[in-house]
Structure 1
Amino acid sequence: MAYQNLLSEIRESVLYVTINREQKLNALNKATLAELADVIAFAAKNEEVRAVLLTGAGPKAFVAGADISEFADYSGAEGEALAKNGQNQVFDAIENCPKPVVAAINGFALGGGLELAMACHIRIASENAKLGLPEVTLGLIPGYGGTQRLTQLVGKGKAIEMITTADMISAVEAEKIGLVNHVVPAEELLPKAEEILSKIKLRAPLAIASAISAVNAAIRYDENGFETEIKEFGKCFDTEDFKEGTSAFLEKRKAVFLGK
């Protein structure tokens, strides 16, 4: 996995992905989005990877937005294609990844950066993080799922306020409204993410994938979440992990899950 705009490495079953454009505040350009699509597809298929930790390089920004220069001259059709491709290949791919993706928000998460964090399953922010969707200041709206995911996370009224005012909010405010799970001092950001991931890695991987699928179904208008849960629940019974988990419980020992 050799990338120009990302750093990636597997450590202790976690794929660490760092968006490495510090001089550009880790802004999302086409090349970076293509690499993110590739690395998420890799994570989803690789049996060694149990989870993903996504962060930005340097102390200032997680991702400060999209690279505006790349689409400043786009037509309506080109803009629509930009949003559709980005959502399908990156943002929806992260949300639907069977491996939990944890965003470690180490600074500014604005525009596409906040949309990227919201596509992740769990969000942890450093105390200095600032979050917002400033697209209306450019005559645009969020195009990578931001209007939908922000509404799901914080409710319609707060989402409309954040999007129409384009105001940034602090990490503390983000935690208060449910936009992030935890806020910690900057030096504790990665350790907190790793603490959560260390617990996740002890659990049954196939059950985790089923849980992600079922939870995602809860917010899809075209899917019955209860039916999805029933189906995923049933699938778990056919796994070796289920046999191991129940045997370990009955034998009063710790389970060792193999993801089979």
Structure 2
Amino acid sequence: MGVSTSAPATGVRLVAMDFPPVNALPVRGWYELAAALRTAGADPSVRCVVLAAEGRGFNAGVDIKEIQAAEGHTALIGANHGCSEAFAAVYDCPVPVVAAVHGFCLGGGIGLAGNADAIVASEDATFGLPELDRGALGAATHLARLVPQHLMRALYYTSRTATAEELRRHGSVWRVVPRAELREAALELAGEIAAKDGALLRLAKAAINGIDPVDVRRSYRFEQGFTFEANLAGLSDGHRDAFIAGSNGKG
């Protein structure tokens, strides 16, 4: 359980999340993921990273049970900083990152997938931000990288999800495959990328990030301020408690 790294092909690193039962990451998990991504990207032999997950879904966001069990605001602040670091580690990775998404991709999962360079998804993958239902605000920055602006707003306000096929039609998902073929399809794309000149790939990643119209790290941190404001205003605890009660504390 935790974050693992492997080398399934020349020039490719596979970073996988495994936090049962639903890959709702605790504070330490976000930092562990950020460290693994940074280590992979710092290796000069690596030309592409695949970010994947084990279990029922790609990522269900933060561990709400951990936040509610902690004294004061320590866990909430830890989750805010941890998510910010993990999302930035994807975006700032010196080489392209391919996200292999299956099942649910919610909350923090959108931050990870939205900051990836490419997404390969299984047919059962769904993407969304249930933040308002959890007493939080955030990752609209990253959802806006996956769908058009007005759709992002409607999905955000309703907490609805979009399917992998819908995202493929919007151009943000590279390929949709049966779940059993997901890892192979993601590694196939990663292998095609890794066949390029490694030095040029790193220059290309820096160049493309440099022309991005939105500073994703600053934008997301701005959003997080409203999450903390909602918490201080007493708007969040009831939603988080209700979610835990309804899910039997499974995240």
Shorter chain as normaliser: what TM range? 0.7 to 0.9
* Amino acid corresponding to residue 211 of structure 1 in structure 2: A
Secondary structure at the counterpart of residue 61 of structure 1: coil
Q: In the alignment, is residue 175 of structure 1 matched against residue 168 of structure 2?
A: yes
Q: In the alignment, is residue 135 of structure 1 matched against residue 131 of structure 2?
A: yes
Q: In the alignment, is residue 110 of structure 1 matched against residue 103 of structure 2?
A: no
Pairs aligned (count):
213
Q: In the alignment, is residue 51 of structure 1 matched against residue 48 of structure 2?
A: yes
Partner residue in 2 for 1:63: 59
Q: Which runs of 5+ in 2 are unaligned?
A: 216-251
Partner residue in 2 for 1:40: 37
Residue 85 of structure 1: how far off its partner (Å): 4.5
Please, what is the CA RMSD of the aligned residues?
2.1
* Identity within the alignment, %: 31
2:187 to 183, 194, 201: 194
Bigger-Rg structure (1/2): 1
1:43, 1:99 within 8 Å by CA — same for their partners in 2?
no
Q: Which runs of 5+ in 1 are unaligned?
A: 223-260
* Amino acid corresponding to residue 27 of structure 1 in structure 2: A
Normalised by the size of structure 2, how large is the TM-score? 0.77
1:141-220 superposed matches below 5 A:
141-142=137-138, 146-220=139-213
1:18 to 7, 13, 16: 16
* Amino acid corresponding to residue 118 of structure 1 in structure 2: G
Cα 1:82/1:103, change in 2 over 3 Å:
same
Larger relative contact order (C-alpha < 8 A, sep ≥ 6)? Answer: 2
CA deviation string 1:92-112 (max 9, x = no partner): 121011111111112111111
Higher mean C-alpha displacement, 74-83 vs 167-176: 74-83
1: CA distance, partners of 2:171 / 2:71: 34
Residue 137 of structure 1: how far off its partner (Å): 0.6
Residue 200 of structure 1: how far off its partner (Å): 1.0
1:126, 1:189 within 8 Å by CA — same for their partners in 2?
yes
Partner residue in 2 for 1:31: 28
Normalised by the size of structure 1, how large is the TM-score? 0.75
Partner residue in 1 for 2:236: none
CA deviation string 1:159-206 (max 9, x = no partner): 111111100122111212233221111122122112211211111112
